[in-house]
């Protein structure tokens, strides 16, 4: 009888893991176009004018300038409506056409990461239904939410690598009468703002050199499928994502760093809704207080729904504990819109925010009292029935 060496015996029981020696994520395009050529999926191509931007491992990414299909965000539309309004406003101001669809659902990933009451096939089918809806209009998808963006990149990766999942989702899409389609690029609105930063700066009306800004990079933007996020050697030497920070630099604001930039905001998906003691603690102790101590910003800018919510809303209750809080929080879209002369209430809708933003507006040279009076005048028209809604014409675009 052959005697098995003790070491061999141990090794035979040990779990084996295969992994790529190079941790850089591969360029997904090859697989995407291969599946397209085999007739498995359709690919919605970038069309018309586009800007090529650098990503983490050097793969170029095309950002289509106009003719975009806005995949809206639950939290932005629901309780930070100045966020999405500012994205639309900037696009109109720069003269790019877009589609604001009703044929769009949430990506449902907030719920998925909060409760797991869904599954891989459902999440992929929701994503593909939305992509198909965009494809049918001919407009190219632009994703407003950082979590939708990150989740859709995960879904794309799963679909490209798992034939069983593709088959499962294909059956659902056939029932819906929709094609299996993925866009050539999955683009976050903050990538569009980064790509358009010079055009935005050309339309800038405020001087921001005295405005100190800290940036919270959104986890789901650059940690999920990290190779597909924008990194620029001119922004933190390419060591942090250039989304948001690149725009802040181009706008001429005073971009300041702080040590906990990599930390998340504390949103937690489930926690922000039913366990906010955690969210409040993390957002204030690990983010806001550290930023105040190390960088003393006039404003915190970020590029995701959950981050604006967690960082802004957590500060009120923290005051009761004597914490050193009190920094306004908004998206870089709202900040850029303000820089381009957007109305702080009619467009940026800052009255939906919690932390006091008025000192910031004063420092930016915006007369918030006069602006609020103008907004109230509009509200009177709505109340009296003179008009039903505030329109784009009312805000000059």
Partner 1 sequence: MRTVTEDPYMKVDRVAGHENVERANKVALMDEVFADPRISHYLYGCYECGICVAACPSARFYDFSPRRIAQAAARRDIDLMFQQMEEDIWECSQCFSCLRCPRGNNPGGIITVMREVAVKNGLHSAQEALHGYSRIIFKIMSTGTQVSPDMLQPDAFPDWGPEVKDVSENLDLWRRALPPETHHTTKTGWAVADKTIVELYLIWLETGALDMIKQVDEGIHMILEEVMEERLEDEGIEI
Q: Which of positions 264-293 make contact with partner 1 (CB under 8 A)?
A: 264, 266-271, 273-274, 276, 278, 280-282, 286
Among 62, 79, 170, 358, binds partner 1 (CB under 8 A): 79
Would you say 347 and 337 are in contact if contact means Cβ atoms under 8 Å apart?
Answer: yes
Query: Is residue 61 part of the contact set for partner 1 (CB under 8 A)?
Result: no
Interatomic CA distance for residues 83 and 350, integer angstroms: 9
Query: Is residue 94 part of the contact set for partner 1 (CB under 8 A)?
Result: no
Which positions ≥6 away from 142 have C-beta within 8 Å? 68, 69, 70, 71, 98, 187, 188, 189, 192
Binding mask 125-154 for partner 1 (x = CB under 8 A): xx--x---x----------------x----
Which residue in this structure is represented by tokens 């020696």?
21
Query: Is residue 108 part of the contact set for partner 1 (CB under 8 A)?
Result: yes
Q: What are phi and psi of 185, to 5 degrees?
A: -135, 145
249 versus 279: smaller Cβ distance to partner 1? 279
Query: Is residue 244 part of the contact set for partner 1 (CB under 8 A)?
Result: no
CB of 62 to partner 1, least distance (A): 25
Query: Is residue 17 part of the contact set for partner 1 (CB under 8 A)?
Result: yes
Binding mask 289-318 for partner 1 (x = CB under 8 A): ------------------------x--xx-
Interatomic CA distance for residues 338 and 206, integer angstroms: 8
Instruction: Tell which positions 21-40 bind partner 1, by CB under 8 A.
Output: 23
CB of 207 to partner 1, least distance (A): 26
Give the residue from 74, 76, 103 showing the smallest Cα distance to 87.
76
Q: What are the C-alpha distances in Å from 392 to residues 79, 98, 324, 346?
A: 20, 14, 39, 10
Among 78, 179, 252, 341, binds partner 1 (CB under 8 A): 78
Query: Is residue 377 part of the contact set for partner 1 (CB under 8 A)?
Result: no
Number of CB atoms found within 10 A of residue 376's CB: 11
Give the residue from 41, 331, 70 showing the smallest Cα distance to 162.
41
Query: Is residue 371 part of the contact set for partner 1 (CB under 8 A)?
Result: no
CB of 359 to partner 1, least distance (A): 16
91-102 CB burial, b ≥16 within 10 A, e <16: bebbebebbebe
Query: Is residue 346 part of the contact set for partner 1 (CB under 8 A)?
Result: yes
Q: What are phi and psi of 230, to 5 degrees?
A: -75, 130
Query: Is residue 389 part of the contact set for partner 1 (CB under 8 A)?
Result: yes
């Amino acid at each position: 009888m052959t005697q098995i060496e003790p070491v061999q015996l141990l090794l035979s029981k040990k779990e084996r893991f295969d992994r790529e020696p190079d941790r850089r994520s591969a360029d997904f395009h090859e697989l995407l176009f291969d599946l397209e050529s085999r007739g498995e999926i359709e690919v919605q191509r970038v069309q018309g004018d586009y800007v090529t931007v650098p990503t983490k491992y050097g793969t170029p990414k095309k950002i289509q300038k106009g003719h975009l299909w806005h995949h809206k965000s639950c939290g932005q539309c629901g309780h930070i409506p100045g966020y999405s309004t500012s994205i639309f406003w900037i696009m109109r101001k720069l003269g790019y056409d877009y589609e604001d669809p009703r044929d769009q659902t949430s990506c449902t990933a907030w719920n998925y990461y909060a409760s797991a009451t869904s599954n891989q096939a459902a999440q992929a089918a929701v994503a593909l239904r939305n992509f198909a809806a965009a494809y049918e209009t001919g407009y190219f998808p632009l994703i407003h939410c950082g979590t939708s963006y990150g989740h859709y990149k995960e879904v794309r990766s799963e679909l490209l690598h798992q034939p069983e999942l593709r088959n499962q989702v294909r059956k659902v899409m056939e029932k819906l009468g929709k094609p299996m389609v993925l866009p050539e690029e999955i683009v976050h609105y903050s990538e569009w703002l980064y790509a358009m930063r010079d055009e935005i700066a050309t339309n800038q009306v405020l001087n921001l050199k005295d405005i100190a800004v800290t940036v919270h990079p959104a986890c789901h933007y650059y940690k999920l499928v990290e190779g597909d996020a924008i990194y620029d050697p001119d922004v933190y030497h390419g060591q942090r994502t250039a989304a948001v920070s690149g725009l802040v630099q181009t706008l001429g604001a005073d971009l300041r760093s702080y040590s906990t930039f990599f930390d998340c905001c504390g949103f937690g998906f489930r926690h922000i809704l039913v366990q906010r003691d955690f969210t409040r603690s993390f957002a204030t102790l690990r983010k806001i207080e550290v930023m105040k101590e190390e960088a003393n910003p006039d404003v915190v800018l970020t590029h995701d729904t959950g981050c604006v919510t967690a960082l802004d809303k957590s500060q009120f209750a923290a005051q009761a504990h004597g914490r050193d809080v009190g920094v306004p929080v908004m998206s870089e879209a709202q900040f850029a819109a303000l820089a381009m002369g957007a109305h702080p209430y009619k467009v940026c809708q800052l009255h939906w925010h919690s932390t006091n933003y008025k000192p910031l507006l004063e420092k930016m040279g915006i007369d918030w009292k006069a602006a609020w009076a103008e907004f109230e005048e509009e509200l009177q028209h709505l109340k009296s029935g003179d008009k039903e809604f505030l329109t784009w014409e009312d805000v000059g675009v």
